[in-house]
């Protein structure tokens, strides 16, 4: 296993003003990321999503606990006239004043291994005839019933397979979303860093050309320089002023974007530091597949998609023929006295067998099964394709880490050289040893080296947070 343990202390303090000073208004990348992880809307959405999924999992687990239910219909009163057919065939309308009341208590247990249910219940019905002034009770003191589908699709079996994986996916997704918050925060953070660097460089260039213009103005008075050279410097000063104003606008926009995302207010007066050192990360190309399987939420999502496709195929195949068996044993009785319903109860039994299968459906169920099979195949192929894409991205991030480490060191050296050269040429220009074009070229080289250094750091940190999801 390759172990990259690079801790690079950057000398950017000497290259760019102000980035390495510390005050109460300063922020580091780590500070901003921690703020985003607690205050950003993205984090709050992630937390809410996680809590919802945990609640759904808890609901699934409690599905297999015994359920106790109570039912009642205390009042079902009617007072009206109804028709009664007489022996002669005529109809006689008679009045009635009646009420039905029912109470029921049941305990039901799902049997996940078979997909059936077992229940124990007790019911009591009371009938009151207010005209005849009679009452009657009908009750089932206790009843045991079993309902069992034969060779049928078992929803509970698939729930027990899929839901634990879904819970694991929820945990992995929470970690992945925090890493995504870190990655996006890093991008926005470096947008501000680049914007601040561009503004500082353009501000420095403007002040430099302004100072040189004043010097040339004095030289024009004494006739030691030409108006053409003076005009060249003035044009460069105005151009630097335009660039400074554009850089300030870009900087303000990037600060607003960062503030909106992390959930706190950042102003251009706050100093954002370049990271002073790089984090350690263990990388091994050989273990990328196992790392994906152990850590990435995408892998558990792949498993869920494949299992759901298998479940749907089994459901289509087994719902062609439906056979249900029901058995029930218990006691029941009817009497005018409530106590006799329970003391004089008689045994009762029932058995049911129901069949339901198509005789002629023109091959519809067969084609539905074929569609489910093709769907399973399509899901499996899509998963393989997505795995390859993820592995490619992982390898790209790994390579990016290795290359950016070299690029950082090269860019740092280029920045030191460009800054020294630019400072030297400013002095030489004042003494007339170089042209305006030479000075402008040096300034551009310094700007490019500065931005290149920041971007090499940016690339490393972005690759780092892409890798933190699956390399631990």
DSSP string, 427-452: HHHHTTSS-HHHHHHHHHHHHHHHHH
Residue 278 gets which letter from DSSP?
A: P
Which whole-number Å values give the CA distances from 428 to 29, 207, 242, 332, 359, in the listed order? 39, 17, 25, 113, 100
91, 85 contact by CB (below 8 A)? yes
Q: Is residue 470 over pLDDT 80? A: no
> Six-digit token pair at 78?
């009617």
pLDDT at res. 326: 94
Could you tell me which of 124, 135, 120, 117 has the C-alpha nearest to residue 71? 124
Could you tell me which of 137, 131, 141 has the C-alpha nearest to residue 77? 131
3-state DSSP assignment of residue 154: coil
The count of other CB atoms within 10 Å of the CB of residue 240 is 22
Q: In sequence order, which residues have a C-beta less than 8 Å from that of residue 326 and are 6 or more positions away? A: 145, 146, 147, 148, 350, 351, 352, 353, 354
Q: Is residue 21 over pLDDT 60? A: no
Q: How far apart are CA 470 and CA 126, in angstroms?
A: 66
Residue 321 gets which letter from DSSP?
A: S
Q: How far apart are CA 400 and CA 463, in angstroms?
A: 6
Is 0.85 topped by the overall pTM?
Answer: no
Q: What is the mean pLDDT of residues 64-91?
A: 90
pLDDT at res. 270: 84
Q: In sequence order, which residues have a C-beta less than 8 Å from that of residue 218 and are 6 or more positions away? A: none
Q: Which residue has the tokens 């990388």?
A: 283
Q: How many residues does the chain have?
A: 472
pLDDT at res. 116: 94
3-state DSSP assignment of residue 224: coil
pLDDT at res. 285: 53
3-state DSSP assignment of residue 155: helix
Q: Is residue 142 over pLDDT 70? A: yes
**Rg of the Cα trace of the chain?**
40
Q: Which residue has the tokens 């694991």?
A: 168
pLDDT at res. 20: 39
| pLDDT band (50, 70, 90) for residue 17 | very low
**Torsion angle of the four alpha carbons 18, 20, 23, 29, in this order, in degrees rounded to the nearest 10:** 110
382, 448 contact by CB (below 8 A)? no
pLDDT at res. 424: 85
pLDDT at res. 283: 63
pLDDT tens digits, 310-357: 999 999 988 888 899 999 999 999 989 988 888 888 999 999 999 988
pLDDT at res. 472: 53
Could you tell me which of 382, 463, 361 has the C-alpha nearest to residue 6? 463
Strands 91-111 and 77-85: antiparallel
53, 166 contact by CB (below 8 A)? yes
Could you tell me which of 193, 196, 275, 194 has the C-alpha nearest to residue 10? 275
């Amino acid at each position: 296993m390759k172990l990259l343990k690079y801790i690079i202390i950057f000398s950017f303090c000497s290259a760019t003003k102000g980035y390495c000073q510390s005050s109460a208004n300063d922020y580091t990348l780590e500070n901003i990321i921690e703020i985003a992880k607690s205050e950003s809307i993205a984090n709050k959405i992630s937390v809410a999503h996680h809590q919802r999924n945990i609640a759904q999992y808890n609901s699934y687990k409690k599905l297999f606990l015994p359920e106790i239910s109570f039912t009642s219909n205390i009042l079902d009163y009617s007072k009206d006239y109804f028709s009664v057919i007489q022996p002669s065939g005529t109809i006689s309308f008679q009045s009635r004043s009646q009420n039905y009341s029912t109470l029921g208590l049941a305990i039901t247990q799902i049997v996940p291994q078979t997909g059936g249910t077992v229940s124990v219940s007790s019911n009591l019905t009371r009938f009151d005839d207010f005209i005849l002034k009679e009452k009657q009770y009908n009750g089932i003191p206790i009843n045991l019933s079993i309902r069992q589908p034969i060779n049928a699709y078992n929803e509970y079996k698939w729930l027990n397979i899929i839901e634990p994986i879904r819970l694991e996916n929820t945990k992995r997704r929470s970690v992945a979303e925090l890493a995504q918050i870190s990655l996006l925060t890093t991008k926005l953070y470096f947008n501000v860093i680049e914007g601040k660097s561009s503004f500082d460089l353009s501000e420095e260039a403007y002040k430099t050309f302004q100072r040189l213009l004043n010097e040339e103005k004095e030289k024009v008075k004494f006739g030691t320089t030409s108006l053409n050279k003076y005009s060249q410097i003035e044009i460069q000063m105005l151009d630097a002023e335009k660039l400074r104003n554009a850089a300030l606008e870009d900087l303000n926009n990037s600060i607003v974007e960062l503030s909106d995302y992390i959930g706190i207010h950042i102003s251009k007066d706050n100093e954002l530091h370049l990271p002073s050192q790089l984090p350690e990360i263990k990388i091994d190309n050989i273990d990328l597949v196992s790392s994906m399987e152990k850590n990435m939420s995408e892998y558990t999502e792949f498993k869920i998609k494949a299992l759901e496709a298998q479940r749907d195929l089994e459901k289509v195949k087994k719902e062609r023929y439906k056979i249900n068996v029901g058995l029930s044993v218990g006691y029941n009785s009817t009497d005018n006295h409530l106590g006799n319903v329970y003391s004089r109860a008689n045994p009762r039994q029932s058995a049911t067998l129901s069949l339901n299968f198509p005789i002629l459906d023109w091959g519809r169920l067969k084609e539905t099964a074929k569609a489910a099979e093709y769907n399973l195949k399509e899901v499996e192929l899509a998963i393989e394709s997505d795995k390859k894409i993820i592995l490619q991205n992982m390898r790209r991030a790994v390579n990016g880490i290795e290359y950016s480490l070299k690029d950082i060191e090269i860019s740092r050296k280029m920045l030191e050289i460009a800054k020294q050269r630019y400072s030297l040429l400013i002095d030489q220009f004042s003494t007339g040893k170089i042209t305006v074009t030479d000075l402008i070229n040096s300034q551009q080289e310094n700007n490019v080296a500065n931005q290149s250094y920041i971007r090499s750091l940016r690339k490393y940190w972005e690759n780092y947070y892409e890798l933190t999801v699956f390399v631990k």
